[in-house]
Amino acid sequence: MKKRDPYGFELIMDLHECNVSKFNRKSLKDYFAKLCKEINMKREKLYFWDDIGISEKDKQTSPQTKGTSAVQFILTSTIVVHTLDILGKVYVNIFSCKSFDRKAAEVLTKNWFESKKGRTYFMERI
């Protein structure tokens, strides 16, 4: 069987014991700008999902759901971040059909969120 070139690449990071002061729209917007510059990705639309503008009774209070989620579309796919305020955790997925420097992305992300623990996975998508 002939080996195929990968369709794309995905970096998955589960980061724990992070600095929760970075879990807000301004910080995440700055993170996406810096990350995209670092890994040479063209930014497109950015969307947030959080409790801003939500009534008090509808706000998330569970440790598993309270936080900010964001999707940064890039020309070649997406970067997705989910923060968990109470647990001090961040989950990041960088997916692109264009190759990128996964080590640079990992170092910048861990440093940005000041993660003390976590796991990282990298895969080629076929």
Q: Which of 59, 49, 36, 35 is nearest to 82 (CA)?
A: 49
Domain regions of the chain by residue span = 25-71+100-126
Across the chain, which has 126 residues, the per-10-residue mean pLDDT values are 85 98 98 98 97 92 95 98 98 97 98 98 96
Whole-number pLDDT of residue 1: 62
CB atoms within 10 A of CB 15: 24
Taking the C-alpha atoms of residue 58 and residue 71, their distance in angstroms, rounded to an integer, is 22
Whole-number pLDDT of residue 3: 73
pTM equals: 0.94
Taking the C-alpha atoms of residue 3 and residue 106, their distance in angstroms, rounded to an integer, is 27
